[in-house]
């Protein structure tokens, strides 16, 4: 063996050195802030692309996170659930204001939904949505040819079924009581048929009820179905005007139709110039309405719009219903 070619073995000894001191956790705080900002950004981007229904639901939650708009004088005691502080009980004005805000949101939402209905421009003059002292009032008006109901009959038209179905889907999301009323003009039925405007107004209101409940409005929320015939004309100056024929759906602000109110109707003689028949029923207002709410402007239509269509409509010469 050639000793000159042997490779010497070198042993390297590495000394272990200690790590540096602790640098702190500031980066963790910065990382948490960055992640929170990114979460907020993606949340906003998600909300922007959502439908109007989801946006309205989220807005309603932030306006009333505890869901207390339907409560009266309630409070949350310490130790119940995650609440650890006593909440001030709601006063009657607080409850009415919260309920009115919800109905105003519903009115705006209905307007948005109706705008998406095909050919909505043609029927827009015949739909009125407004907030009154009683609540959310929706009126479906008629013309001489029939918009929502077949002329002289209680059968809803295809367009009427579509609109009533949409209303049933939306109104069913709230738990306020609902009242449905039917009205006609003063034109009587011709011939000796016993069927009159009284039956027509009540039958149309009942037909509207069936469609509303079939499309989402709980039947328990409907408190009254009323037919007024021609006793409450929309246009008293023209009793035969087609706009007097209408269906009114009112989502009440509060439970004005209590059993006491229904069992204690107030009947009185009609005032001068009134269209109400003697002995007609007038319901008593609840005691909580001592300070009536101010009527708000309608969302769709006007409270008393001009008659651009009625002025051009021909009237029957024989006095029978068109």
CATH of the domain at 133: 3.30.1330.60
Total domains in the chain come to 1
Residues 6 or more apart whose CB falls under 8 angstroms from that of 198 comprise 227, 229
| Any domain includes 128 | yes
Look at the block and give the residue holding tokens 């421009």. 121
pTM: 0.58
- Rounded to whole angstroms, the Cα distance separating 165 from 250 reads 15
| Any domain includes 234 | yes
Tens of pLDDT along the chain (322 residues)? 566 667 777 777 777 666 666 667 788 888 999 999 999 999 888 888 887 777 777 777 777 776 666 655 444 444 444 444 455 666 778 788 888 889 999 999 999 999 999 989 999 999 999 999 999 999 999 998 889 999 889 999 999 999 999 999 999 999 899 999 999 999 998 877 889 999 999 999 999 999 999 999 999 999 999 999 999 999 999 999 999 999 999 999 876 544 454 434 433 344 444 444 433 333 333 333 333 333 444 445 444 443 343 433 444 444 445 4
Range of the domain at 223: 113-266+281-312
Residues 6 or more apart whose CB falls under 8 angstroms from that of 122 comprise none
| Any domain includes 299 | yes
- Rounded to whole angstroms, the Cα distance separating 178 from 196 reads 26
Give 241: exposed, middle or buried? Use CB within 10 Å, 0-12, 13-18, 19+: buried
| Any domain includes 320 | no
b/e map of 158-182 (b: 16 or more CB within 10 Å)?
A: ebbbbbbbbbbebbbebebbbbbbb
Phi-psi region of 135 (alpha: psi -120 to 50; beta: other; left: phi over 0): left
| Any domain includes 94 | no
Which secondary-structure segment (H or E) carries 115? helix 92-115
């Amino acid at each position: 063996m050639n000793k000159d070619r042997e490779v010497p073995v070198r042993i390297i000894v590495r000394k272990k050195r200690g790590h540096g001191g602790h640098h702190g956790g500031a980066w963790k705080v910065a990382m948490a802030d960055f992640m929170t900002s990114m979460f907020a950004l993606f949340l906003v981007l998600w909300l922007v692309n959502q439908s109007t229904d989801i946006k309205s639901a989220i807005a309603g939650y932030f306006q009333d996170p505890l869901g207390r708009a339907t409560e009266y004088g309630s409070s949350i005691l310490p130790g119940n659930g995650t609440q650890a502080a006593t909440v001030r009980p709601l006063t009657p004005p607080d409850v009415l204001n919260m309920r009115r805000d919800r109905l105003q949101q519903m009115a705006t939402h209905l307007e948005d939904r109706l705008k998406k209905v095909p050919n909505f421009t043609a029927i827009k003059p015949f739909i009125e949505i407004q907030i009154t002292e009683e609540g959310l009032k929706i009126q479906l008006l008629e013309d001489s040819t029939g918009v929502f109901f077949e002329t002289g009959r209680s059968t809803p038209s295809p367009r009427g079924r579509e609109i009533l179905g949409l209303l049933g889907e939306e109104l069913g999301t709230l738990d306020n009581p609902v009242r449905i009323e039917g009205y006609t003009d003063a034109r009587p039925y011709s011939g000796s048929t016993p069927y009159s405007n009284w039956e027509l107004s009540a039958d149309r209101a009942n037909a509207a009820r069936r469609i509303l409940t079939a499309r989402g409005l709980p039947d328990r929320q409907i408190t009254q179905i009323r037919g007024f015939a021609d006793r409450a004309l929309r246009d008293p100056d023209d009793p035969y005007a087609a706009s007097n024929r209408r269906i009114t759906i009112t989502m009440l602000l509060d439970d004005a139709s209590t059993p006491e109110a229904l069992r204690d109707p107030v009947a009185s003689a009609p005032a001068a110039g009134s269209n109400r028949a003697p002995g007609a029923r007038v319901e008593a207002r609840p005691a909580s309405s001592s300070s009536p709410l101010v009527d708000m402007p309608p969302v769709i239509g006007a409270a008393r719009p001009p008659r651009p269509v009625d002025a051009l409509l021909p009237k029957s010469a024989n006095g029978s219903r068109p």
